[in-house]
């Protein structure tokens, strides 16, 4: 059976940490759908369309990766896509508690869907979209943290170009 995995998240914006997880998931699963959560309760820097565009550009050389967005419950989206595997990255112990809670509620909602966790690459264990935004806001270089196209988009947002 071909395994279709979904990597859900905010990706506001995509970082090298995300890209590492996406690439490694694509090495393991047949298809990987990177799904941007259209979450009205967060106050994103980039629109969903911009986040999708950046994700498409930075994953264009990975043939089994698709980029999409979703609203509402992840479990409903998984059914709609006929996907059975959720992939999440784990950075620190602080991620663990929240991830355990989400994976547990998802299993309660549908026990045919499995959540897989991938440990962060040590190089990126400190990296998050929030940190990147904080650094870019004060006009410091984020070139080691995000792909060049994302760096350019951040510079535009923060009025540097």
Backbone φ, ψ for residue 35 (5° rounding): -115, 115
The string of DSSP letters for 24-62 reads HHHHHSSEEEEEEE--TTS--SS-HHHHHHHHHHHTTT-
Distances (CA, A) of 117 to 6, 22, 103, 123: 12, 12, 10, 17
Closest to 28 (Cα-Cα) out of 64, 74, 61: 64
Give the residue with the Cβ less far from ligand ADP, 99 or 110: 99
Segment lying near ligand ADP (by CB under 6 A), choices 46-54, 62-70, 125-133, 150-158? 125-133
| Helix 93-109 / helix 74-81 crossing angle, nearest 10 deg | 60
CB 32 within 8 A of CB 26: yes
User: Exactly one of 10, 88, 129, 133 is catalytic; which is it?
Assistant: 129
State which of residues 5, 6, 19, 21 lies at the interface with ligand ADP (CB under 6 A): 21
13 binds ligand ADP, rule: CB under 6 A: no
- Per CB under 6 A, does 84 bind ligand ADP? no
In the list 4, 5, 6, 10, the residue contacting ligand ADP (rule: CB under 6 A) is: 10
- Say how far apart CA 127 and CA 80 lie, in whole Å: 31
Q: Which is nearer to ligand ADP, 29 or 124 (CB)?
A: 124
C-alpha to C-alpha distance for 131 and 149, rounded to whole angstroms? 17
CB of 72 to ligand ADP, least distance (A): 14
Q: Which span sits near ligand ADP by CB under 6 A: 63-71, 77-85, 87-95, 144-152?
A: 87-95
CB-nearer residue toward ligand ADP: 21 or 142: 21
Question: Under the rule (CB under 6 A), what is the footprint of ligand ADP?
Answer: 9-11, 15, 17-18, 21, 88-89, 91, 95, 120, 124, 127-129
Residues annotated as catalytic (active site), given as ranges: 18, 42, 91, 129
């Amino acid at each position: 059976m071909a395994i279709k995995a979904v990597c859900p998240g905010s990706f506001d914006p995509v970082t090298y940490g995300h890209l590492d997880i996406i690439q490694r998931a694509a090495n393991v699963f047949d298809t990987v759908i990177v799904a941007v959560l259209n979450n009205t309760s967060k106050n994103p820097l980039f629109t969903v369309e911009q986040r999708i565009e950046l994700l498409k550009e930075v994953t264009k050389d990975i043939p089994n990766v698709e980029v999409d967005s979703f609203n509402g419950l992840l479990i409903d989206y998984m059914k709609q896509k006929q996907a059975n595997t959720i992939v999440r990255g784990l950075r620190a112990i602080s991620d663990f508690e929240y991830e355990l809670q989400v994976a547990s509620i998802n299993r309660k909602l549908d026990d045919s869907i499995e959540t897989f966790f991938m440990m962060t690459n040590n190089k990126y264990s400190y990296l998050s979209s929030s940190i990147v935004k904080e650094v870019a806001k004060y006009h410091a270089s984020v070139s080691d943290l995000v792909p060049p196209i994302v760096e350019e988009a951040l510079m535009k947002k923060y009025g540097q170009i």
